[in-house]
Amino acid sequence: MELYTPETLISEEEIIQRIDALGKAITQNFEGQDLIVICVLKGAFMFCSDLIKRINLPLKLEFISLSSYGDSTQSSGSVRLEMDITANIEGKNVLIVEDIVDSGLTIKILMEIMSVRKPKEVRLASLLFKPSKLKHPVRIDYLGFEIEDKFVIGYGLDYAGRYRELPYIGVLNAGN
Ligand code: IMP
Protein backbone atom coordinates (compact mmCIF):
# COMPACT_ATOMS: atom_id res chain seq x y z
CA MET A 1 0.00 0.00 0.00
CA GLU A 2 1.53 3.32 -1.07
CA LEU A 3 1.46 6.43 1.11
CA TYR A 4 -0.28 9.23 -0.77
CA THR A 5 -0.94 12.75 0.53
CA PRO A 6 -4.23 14.11 -0.84
CA GLU A 7 -4.65 17.80 -1.62
CA THR A 8 -6.26 19.74 1.28
CA LEU A 9 -9.77 21.11 0.76
CA ILE A 10 -10.57 22.03 4.38
CA SER A 11 -7.80 22.23 6.97
CA GLU A 12 -7.91 20.76 10.47
CA GLU A 13 -7.99 24.29 11.95
CA GLU A 14 -10.97 25.33 9.81
CA ILE A 15 -12.85 22.14 10.75
CA ILE A 16 -12.31 22.61 14.49
CA GLN A 17 -13.27 26.29 14.33
CA ARG A 18 -16.54 25.41 12.58
CA ILE A 19 -17.29 22.54 14.99
CA ASP A 20 -16.82 24.95 17.91
CA ALA A 21 -19.62 27.12 16.48
CA LEU A 22 -21.87 24.10 15.82
CA GLY A 23 -21.35 22.83 19.38
CA LYS A 24 -22.35 26.23 20.78
CA ALA A 25 -25.48 26.40 18.58
CA ILE A 26 -26.58 22.87 19.59
CA THR A 27 -25.96 23.64 23.29
CA GLN A 28 -28.10 26.79 23.00
CA ASN A 29 -30.90 25.15 21.00
CA PHE A 30 -31.37 22.29 23.46
CA GLU A 31 -30.69 24.29 26.65
CA GLY A 32 -32.10 22.61 29.75
CA GLN A 33 -32.84 19.35 27.89
CA ASP A 34 -31.21 15.92 27.42
CA LEU A 35 -29.98 14.71 24.07
CA ILE A 36 -29.38 11.37 22.37
CA VAL A 37 -26.59 11.78 19.82
CA ILE A 38 -26.56 9.18 17.05
CA CYS A 39 -23.24 8.87 15.24
CA VAL A 40 -23.60 7.45 11.73
CA LEU A 41 -20.72 5.00 11.28
CA LYS A 42 -18.19 4.84 10.00
CA GLY A 43 -17.70 8.21 8.31
CA ALA A 44 -18.96 10.49 11.11
CA PHE A 45 -16.84 9.01 13.93
CA MET A 46 -14.23 11.80 13.97
CA PHE A 47 -16.71 14.64 13.49
CA CYS A 48 -18.98 13.23 16.20
CA SER A 49 -16.11 12.79 18.61
CA ASP A 50 -14.98 16.42 18.19
CA LEU A 51 -18.58 17.70 18.19
CA ILE A 52 -19.77 16.09 21.44
CA LYS A 53 -16.76 17.54 23.29
CA ARG A 54 -18.28 20.94 22.47
CA ILE A 55 -21.91 20.17 23.42
CA ASN A 56 -22.53 21.24 26.98
CA LEU A 57 -25.67 19.17 27.71
CA PRO A 58 -26.43 15.83 29.40
CA LEU A 59 -26.17 13.45 26.44
CA LYS A 60 -26.03 9.78 25.55
CA LEU A 61 -24.09 8.52 22.56
CA GLU A 62 -25.41 5.86 20.18
CA PHE A 63 -24.03 4.39 16.97
CA ILE A 64 -25.79 3.32 13.79
CA SER A 65 -24.35 1.94 10.58
CA LEU A 66 -25.88 2.21 7.13
CA SER A 67 -24.25 1.39 3.83
CA SER A 68 -24.88 2.74 0.37
CA TYR A 69 -21.53 3.08 -1.39
CA GLY A 70 -19.61 -0.20 -1.20
CA ASP A 71 -16.13 0.48 -2.59
CA SER A 72 -17.28 2.94 -5.25
CA THR A 73 -17.39 6.75 -5.44
CA GLN A 74 -21.02 6.56 -6.63
CA SER A 75 -24.04 5.77 -4.47
CA SER A 76 -25.49 2.31 -5.10
CA GLY A 77 -29.00 3.77 -4.83
CA SER A 78 -30.05 1.49 -2.00
CA VAL A 79 -29.38 1.79 1.72
CA ARG A 80 -28.94 -1.13 4.13
CA LEU A 81 -29.19 -0.89 7.93
CA GLU A 82 -26.07 -2.75 9.08
CA MET A 83 -26.09 -1.94 12.80
CA ASP A 84 -28.88 -0.36 14.85
CA ILE A 85 -28.84 1.82 17.97
CA THR A 86 -29.60 0.18 21.32
CA ALA A 87 -31.46 3.09 23.02
CA ASN A 88 -35.21 3.68 23.03
CA ILE A 89 -35.65 7.16 21.51
CA GLU A 90 -39.39 7.51 22.15
CA GLY A 91 -40.12 11.01 23.50
CA LYS A 92 -36.41 11.95 23.35
CA ASN A 93 -34.45 14.71 21.61
CA VAL A 94 -32.26 13.12 18.96
CA LEU A 95 -29.30 14.59 17.11
CA ILE A 96 -28.12 12.59 14.11
CA VAL A 97 -24.48 13.21 13.26
CA GLU A 98 -23.52 12.45 9.65
CA ASP A 99 -20.30 13.01 7.70
CA ILE A 100 -21.75 14.17 4.37
CA VAL A 101 -25.10 14.61 2.63
CA ASP A 102 -24.64 13.77 -1.05
CA SER A 103 -27.80 12.47 -2.78
CA GLY A 104 -29.63 12.69 0.55
CA LEU A 105 -30.84 9.09 0.31
CA THR A 106 -29.05 7.82 3.42
CA ILE A 107 -30.50 10.60 5.58
CA LYS A 108 -33.96 10.25 4.07
CA ILE A 109 -34.02 6.53 4.98
CA LEU A 110 -32.50 7.20 8.40
CA MET A 111 -35.13 9.87 9.19
CA GLU A 112 -37.87 7.39 8.19
CA ILE A 113 -36.37 4.71 10.47
CA MET A 114 -36.23 7.21 13.35
CA SER A 115 -39.65 8.80 12.92
CA VAL A 116 -41.56 5.52 13.41
CA ARG A 117 -39.87 5.28 16.82
CA LYS A 118 -41.66 8.48 17.92
CA PRO A 119 -38.84 10.72 19.18
CA LYS A 120 -39.74 14.16 20.53
CA GLU A 121 -37.57 15.84 17.93
CA VAL A 122 -34.89 14.77 15.44
CA ARG A 123 -32.25 17.20 14.21
CA LEU A 124 -29.39 16.63 11.81
CA ALA A 125 -25.77 17.75 12.00
CA SER A 126 -23.71 17.10 8.90
CA LEU A 127 -20.08 18.09 8.46
CA LEU A 128 -20.40 18.39 4.67
CA PHE A 129 -23.08 18.96 2.03
CA LYS A 130 -22.79 18.63 -1.76
CA PRO A 131 -25.85 20.60 -2.98
CA SER A 132 -25.25 19.78 -6.64
CA LYS A 133 -25.84 16.05 -5.99
CA LEU A 134 -28.99 16.34 -3.87
CA LYS A 135 -31.91 14.19 -5.07
CA HIS A 136 -33.85 13.76 -1.82
CA PRO A 137 -34.48 17.06 0.00
CA VAL A 138 -33.23 17.00 3.57
CA ARG A 139 -33.07 19.69 6.24
CA ILE A 140 -29.59 20.05 7.70
CA ASP A 141 -29.96 21.86 11.02
CA TYR A 142 -26.24 22.16 11.75
CA LEU A 143 -23.98 22.23 8.70
CA GLY A 144 -20.20 22.36 8.69
CA PHE A 145 -19.36 23.20 5.07
CA GLU A 146 -21.02 23.24 1.67
CA ILE A 147 -18.66 21.77 -0.95
CA GLU A 148 -18.49 21.32 -4.73
CA ASP A 149 -19.12 18.02 -6.43
CA LYS A 150 -15.76 16.40 -5.62
CA PHE A 151 -15.12 13.07 -3.93
CA VAL A 152 -13.62 13.94 -0.57
CA ILE A 153 -11.69 11.86 1.94
CA GLY A 154 -10.19 12.23 5.39
CA TYR A 155 -11.50 13.32 8.80
CA GLY A 156 -13.51 10.09 8.90
CA LEU A 157 -14.48 9.90 5.23
CA ASP A 158 -13.06 7.06 3.18
CA TYR A 159 -12.46 5.79 -0.28
CA ALA A 160 -12.60 1.97 -0.29
CA GLY A 161 -11.94 1.97 3.45
CA ARG A 162 -8.84 4.19 3.29
CA TYR A 163 -7.91 7.76 4.37
CA ARG A 164 -10.29 7.98 7.36
CA GLU A 165 -7.37 8.83 9.66
CA LEU A 166 -6.39 12.08 7.89
CA PRO A 167 -6.98 15.07 10.22
CA TYR A 168 -8.22 17.26 7.34
CA ILE A 169 -10.66 16.97 4.39
CA GLY A 170 -8.83 16.20 1.17
CA VAL A 171 -9.77 15.64 -2.46
CA LEU A 172 -9.21 12.30 -4.06
CA ASN A 173 -7.43 12.76 -7.37
CA ALA A 174 -8.02 10.43 -10.30
CA GLY A 175 -5.47 7.62 -10.33
CA ASN A 176 -4.92 7.55 -6.55
P1 IMP B 1 -26.06 9.92 0.18
O2 IMP B 1 -26.95 8.83 0.64
O3 IMP B 1 -25.90 9.92 -1.32
O4 IMP B 1 -26.40 11.29 0.71
O5 IMP B 1 -24.61 9.56 0.65
C6 IMP B 1 -24.24 9.63 1.96
C7 IMP B 1 -23.06 8.73 2.25
O8 IMP B 1 -22.22 8.51 1.11
C9 IMP B 1 -22.18 9.42 3.25
O10 IMP B 1 -22.56 9.11 4.56
C11 IMP B 1 -20.79 8.94 2.91
O12 IMP B 1 -20.50 7.77 3.61
C13 IMP B 1 -20.84 8.61 1.42
N14 IMP B 1 -20.26 9.71 0.60
C15 IMP B 1 -20.91 10.58 -0.20
N16 IMP B 1 -20.06 11.44 -0.78
C17 IMP B 1 -18.84 11.10 -0.35
C18 IMP B 1 -17.52 11.65 -0.57
O19 IMP B 1 -17.29 12.62 -1.31
N20 IMP B 1 -16.50 11.01 0.08
C21 IMP B 1 -16.69 9.95 0.90
N22 IMP B 1 -17.88 9.43 1.16
C23 IMP B 1 -18.95 10.00 0.53
**What whole-number distance in Å separates Cα of residue 106 and Cα of residue 134?**
11
Distance 98 CA to ligand 1 centre (A): 9
CATH number at residue 19: 3.40.50.2020
How many domains in the chain?
A: 1
User: Please, what is the average pLDDT of the chain?
Assistant: 93
CA end-to-end distance (rounded Å), the chain: 11
In a domain, 80, yes or no: yes
> Is a pLDDT exceeding 90 seen at residue 23?
yes
Q: Is 103 in the pocket of ligand 1 (CB under 6 A)?
A: yes
Asked if residue 170 has its Cβ within 6 Å of ligand 1, the reply is no
Identify the domain containing residue 34 by its residue range.
7-171
3-state DSSP assignment of residue 149? coil
pLDDT in tens, 48-60: 999 999 999 999 9
Helix pair angle (12-29, 45-52), 10° resolution = 60
Q: How many CB atoms lie within 10 A of CB 13?
A: 10
Tell me if 2 is assigned to some domain.
no
Assigned domain for 63 exists: yes
Q: pTM (2 decimals)?
A: 0.94
**Is 26 among the domain residues?**
yes
Q: Is the CB of 157 under 6 A from ligand 1?
A: yes
Tell how far the Cα of 26 is from the centroid of ligand 1, in angstroms.
Answer: 23
On whether residue 176 sits in a domain, the answer given is no
- Residue 126: pLDDT band (50, 70, 90) is very high
